[in-house]
Amino acid sequence: MTTHRERIQACLNGEKPDRTPIALWRHFPVDDQNPELLAASTLHFQSTYDFDIVKVTPASSFAVRGWGVEDQWMGDSEGSRRYTKRVIHEPADWEKLTALDPTSPHLAGQLACLRLIQQNLCPETPLIQTIFNPLSQAKNLAGNDLLLKHLRENPEAVHKGLETIAKTIAKFVEAVCDIGVDGIFYAVQHAQADVLTLDEYKNFGLPYDKQVLEETKNLWCNMLHLHGKDVYFSLLSFYDFQIVNWHDRETYPSLAEAQSLFKGAVCGGLRQGTLVLGEQAKVKQEAADAIQQTEGQRFILGTGCVVPITASHGNLVTARRSVE
């Protein structure tokens, strides 16, 4: 039988695999505050649905708690937590940030979680760790409105903060690679037209992304996630990712259009809302349409983002069976 690894590698090589690969992931609120519980929840999810890639999805705060932010679980349908304390208030605060070491408690905890998953996951199943890019982490330190205000009014201070954040992420990614993962899921949240101009992203996002991604050049299964609407898909020409994931059902480009713009594999096809509110027939319909758009090549069935925690078991099973 074809293994998950062989199937994804065939997909990335432009070959037609034995079946369309599928990868869905979700948050595990409350459990994500404990490395052992997050590992167990992730492994249980995989054992239930047998997806072709396992993406480890911690709360975004794991990356920034070492700087003093606080957050709280408040029942968000996507399973994410709300930030209750920020640490950037004035432009000068960006310059006060000091780089965190992977041995700092919250980063070390996520590495421990990753080791547990890697030790207990079938080695033929690709494993990828979520990494929030420097601008995304800056947003979590300051709040998005304040970040954008400082970015435009005090750019030098923000650049200094981003340098520190990028150094921290690069060291963490190096430690992640040492564990033996197959790739990273690189979450970019500001490469969209209603947040930053393309020139602003090239100034405040791209240089620090490249610094971080230098550590991933030897991995074979890296996925770029472009979050939001009206995303700058043209940025892909500046990166070296094997897979791209975005909200293809809500924003340009479609899966078919994306394959003419990107030489790697595209991941998407299912709306988050369909998995939560749709009938199983609708799940099948979207999956079939996505496979038809791509002719089943260079394509991984997924959602444009996380699967909401309110998605039904039946719809997830239907999504999984739709590629058989």
Residue 196 has pLDDT above 90, yes or no: yes
Q: How far apart are CA 50 and CA 268, in angstroms?
A: 17
**Helices 206-213 and 134-142, axial angle in degrees (round to 10):** 120
DSSP 203-255: HHTHHHHHHHHGGGTT-S--EEEE-SSSB-GGGGGGS--SEEEE-TTTSSPPH
Q: pLDDT tens across 42-86, in order?
A: 999 999 999 999 999 999 999 999 999 999 999 999 999 999 999
Question: Total domain count for the chain?
Answer: 1
Q: Where are the alpha helices (DSSP H) in the chain?
A: 4-12, 35-49, 92-96, 105-120, 134-142, 144-153, 155-179, 198-204, 206-213, 255-261, 272-277, 280-294, 313-321
pTM to 2 decimal places: 0.98
Q: Are strands 82-85 and 299-303 parallel, antiparallel or unpaired?
A: unpaired
Residue range(s) defining the domain that contains residue 160: 4-321
Average pLDDT of span 14-35: 98
Identity of residue 101: D
CATH number at residue 136: 3.20.20.210
Say if residue 224's pLDDT is above 90. yes
Q: Quote the tokens at residue 167.
A: 């150094």
- The per-residue pLDDT for range 229-278, each reduced to its tens digit, is 999 999 999 999 999 999 999 999 999 999 999 999 999 999 999 999 99
- Tell me: pLDDT of 299 over 90: yes
Instruction: Give bridge partners of residue 185 from the DSSP assignment.
Output: 130, 223
**For the purposes of burial, counting CB atoms within 10 Å of the CB of 84, is it exposed (0-12), middle (13-18) or buried (19 or more)?**
exposed
Q: What angle do CA 109, 240, 322 make, to 5 degrees?
A: 75
Mean pLDDT of the chain: 98
Rounded Cα distance between 147 and 169, Å, is 19
Q: Does pLDDT of 176 surpass 90?
A: yes
29: Cβ contacts below 8 Å, ≥ 6 apart: 59, 73, 76, 79, 80, 81, 309
What whole-number percentage of the chain has pLDDT above 70?
A: 100
Long-range contacts formed by 142-145: CB under 8 A, 24+ apart = 142/86, 142/87, 142/88, 142/89, 142/93, 143/83, 143/86, 143/88, 144/195
Give the pLDDT score at 135.
98
- Encode pLDDT of 102-148 as tens digits: 999 999 999 999 999 999 999 999 999 999 999 999 999 999 999 99
With a CB cutoff of 8 Å and minimum separation 6, the contacts of 187 are 130, 131, 132, 133, 136, 225, 227
pLDDT of residue 1: 86
Q: So what's the pLDDT on residue 130?
A: 98
